[in-house]
Amino acid sequence: MTISAGALAWLVSIATLVTVLAPIVLVIFWIRDLVKGRLW
Amino acid sequence: MNSMHSASLDATTGWLILAAFSVLWVILGAYLGRRSVGLEGYMLAGRKVGMALGTATAMATWVTSNTTMAAPQLAFQMGVWGMLGYSLGSVGLMLFAPLARRIRVLMPTGYTSGDFVRLRYGKTTWRVFLLISLLYAFGWLVSMGMAGGVLVNALTGIDYRIGMTVILAVCVLYTMLGGLRAVIGTDFLQTLIILVGIVALAWLAITHVGFQRMHDAVLAKRPELLDLLMPAAIMFLFNNLLFGIGEIFHSNVWWSRAFAFREGVGFRAYLTAGLFWMPIPVVAGFVALTVPALHLNVPAADMVGPLVAAKLLGSSGAILVFIVVFAALASSLDSLLAATSDLILTDIYKGHFRPQASEAELARAAHWMILGLGFVAWLLCLPRLTTLAQLLYFMGAFVASTIWPIAAGLFWRRANPRGATLAMIAGTGLGLAGYFLIGFYVAALISAAVSMGIVLLSTWLRPDDFDWARLAVTSEGRS
């Protein structure tokens, strides 16, 4: 049973999209913690 | 293996990047660590780390050289299941979330995972646990030190031993200067670099090769990599899941963060880090599937990631991957140096040799522990003995045996010391037998299964009645 090109593309694309979101969310967390004085 | 032929950066550029980032990490580490007060400040960053830094440090520490370099290696050897199996490593982070909350509640003044095992199960179990934990820590340290040398050699042609020495020395220096604050603070920046770099490489691989061309070439030359029923790869998937859980549940790298995070942060930080970590091995690993389409000659499987990047993107790709893997290495090496030195300081030095040591003495000793640990790791890295994945999975038998003793010890009053000790010893022994007799991909699987059976059976036959208050009261008595 072989994975199709379409399924491989879907898998990698979704993974890439989530990985793009990660640094954005981290920066939002960082700003929120900084504003609330809860960074450290 | 002659990696000089594949090196796409000249040594001067390599040295410039190494120097620039080394200076950045050391200055940043020293700056962040300047406010560390006392032993608790140095070892646990004052126990007030917030959500942003908490999530980033969990992610960065788990994105190691083993993700950025071994994920492509495993995709190259095991195909789709190789990278999917690797991404199951994130389950360990997510499952640790409730444990982190429990640890913070039960042991508000705890320092190490060894503290917990000693107080929960007694000295015999504690010593068995320390042996496993320290072996694992050295295995991980050596695997990352080796990865540093391999990376520098593959991308610049600089001698393996010189590259490895520089990377280890830089991490030791800034961890010594700033303690856990330096580690966690640099982790945030390193996480952003890693994520942006991995996405950039993946995007360029997709646009340069394309999924259809990649798929057709793999199907023609290495069809087994696209096989969803590859038995060894499926075994690897489950093995990796248990290996990841075992690594996280027992290691002081993760426990020290549970102690260091601000109250209420641990659960959310570990859960979020796990969710965002899950796709990273796929994004970092799939580039190895472009090898057949690119007609690339890969002299050693653990160099496939850097070689593909260099082939695809030339010198700019080599620079990018160099920076990403340096950040990944540093983010894990610093964490491991700090957490392992904490374990040696608290559980070996103070626990076994200097029980009356003052806080000032321990604070001084903490710096020397980091230096000594770095030196020993350097010695072990000098001969490049094995591939990264082999070294990594040898440890699976050890760490998977700790999953049940740790989890049951945190949540079940009835889990008993004898069962925990036997579970770790028998799990490790039979897991190692599986490693040598069957293959690396079953070591953690066998170890965890044996350990589970013993913990469940011993808890049922000889139930204990542990008083949770003993964890909090006794740990408050520490210096």
Q: What pLDDT score was predicted for residue B93?
A: 94
B335 closest CA partner among B83, B45, B52: B45
Those residues whose C-beta lies under 8 Å from the C-beta of residue B277, and which sit 6 or more positions away, are B58, B59, B62, B63, B87, B89, B90, B93
Note the helical H segments in B295-395.
Answer: 304-343, 359-381, 388-394
A1 touches chain B (CB under 8 A): yes
Q: What pLDDT, on a 0 to 100 scale, did the predictor assign at position B107?
A: 94
ipTM metric: 0.95
pLDDT number for residue B1: 36
Instruction: Name the residue in chain A with its Cα closest to that of B81.
Output: A3
Q: How far apart are CA B66 and CA B63, in angstroms?
A: 7
| pLDDT attached to residue B4 | 39
- Token reading at B410: 């945190």
**In whole angstroms, what separates CA B75 from the centre of its chain?**
19
Q: Given an 8 Å threshold on Cβ–Cβ distance, is A20 in contact with B199?
A: yes
Whether the Cβ atoms of residue B406 and residue B423 lie closer than 8 Å to each other: no
B227 to chain A: which residues are within 8 Å by CB?
A: 1-2
Chain B residues inside the 8 Å CB shell of A4? 215
Q: Decide if A2 and B283 are in contact by the 8 Å CB cutoff.
A: no
Residue B276: predicted pLDDT: 95
Residues of chain A contacting residue B262, judged by C-beta atoms under 8 Å apart? 38
Mutate to test the interface with B, among A1, A4, A8 (most CBs of B within 10 A): A8
Are residues B393 and B440 in contact, defined by beta-carbon separation less than 8 angstroms?
A: yes
pLDDT at A2: 86
A9 at B interface, C-beta within 8 A: yes
Give Cβ neighbours of residue B388 (< 8 Å, ≥ 6 apart). Answer: B65, B66, B69, B70, B73, B143, B146, B147, B150, B302
Amino acid at B34: R
The pair of structure tokens assigned to B450 is 């044996």
Which residue, chain included where needed, has tokens 């071994």? B70
Whole-number Å distance between alpha carbons of B137 and B253: 9
Comparing CA positions, the residue from B375, B338, B406, B396 lying closest to residue B57 is: B338
- 8 A C-beta contact, residue B38 and residue B359: yes
Residue B390 has a pLDDT of 64
pLDDT in the model for residue B39: 87
Contacting residues of A for B280, CB less than 8 Å apart: 15, 19
Beta-bridge partner residues of B227:
A2
Q: What residue ranges in B123-217 does DSSP mark as E strands? A: none
A6 CB neighbours in chain B (<8 A) are 211
CA nearest to B92, candidates B69, B66, B59, B116: B59
Chain B CA closest to residue A24 = B192
Q: Measured between beta carbons, which residues in chain A are less than 8 angstroms from residue B282? A: 11-12, 15
Q: How many CB atoms lie within 10 A of CB B412?
A: 14
Residue B227 phi, psi dihedral angles, 5° rounding: -80, 120
Q: Any chain B CB within 8 A of the CB of A3? A: yes
Which residue numbers in chain A have pLDDT < 70?
A: none
C-beta separation of B203 from B287 below 8 A: no
Q: Which among B66, B448, B445 is positioned nearest to B240, based on CA atoms? A: B445
> Between chains, do A15 and B282 touch, taking CB under 8 Å as contact?
yes
Q: Given the structure tokens 């965002």, which residue do they identify?
A: B276
Identity of the residue in B51, B280, B289 whose CB atom sits nearest the CB atom of A19 = B280
In this complex, which of A2, A4, A39 lies closest to B53 when CB atoms are compared? A39
The pTM of this model reads 0.90
Nearest Cα residue in chain B from A27: B52
A35 in B contact zone (CB under 8 Å): no
Q: How far is CA B58 from CA B62, B187, B238, in A?
A: 6, 9, 22
Q: Is the CB of B34 inside 8 Å of chain A's CB atoms?
A: no
CA-nearest residue to A28 within chain B is B52
Q: Measured over all CA atoms, what is the biggest interatomic distance in chain B, rounded to whole angstroms?
A: 67
Please state, as a whole number, how many other Cβ atoms lie within 10 Å of the Cβ of residue A1. 7
Q: What is the pLDDT along chain B (479 residues), one digit of tens a residue?
A: 334 345 467 888 889 999 999 999 999 999 998 888 888 899 999 999 999 999 999 998 888 766 777 788 888 888 888 888 888 889 999 999 999 999 999 999 999 999 999 999 999 999 999 999 999 898 888 888 887 887 788 778 889 899 999 999 999 999 999 999 999 999 999 999 999 988 988 888 898 888 999 999 999 998 888 888 777 667 777 777 888 898 899 999 999 999 999 999 999 999 999 999 999 999 988 988 998 898 888 877 767 877 787 787 777 777 888 888 888 888 889 989 999 999 999 999 999 999 998 888 998 899 999 999 999 999 989 887 656 556 667 788 999 999 999 999 999 999 999 999 999 999 999 999 999 998 877 888 899 999 999 999 999 999 999 999 999 864 444 43
| B422/A contact by beta carbon, under 8 A | no
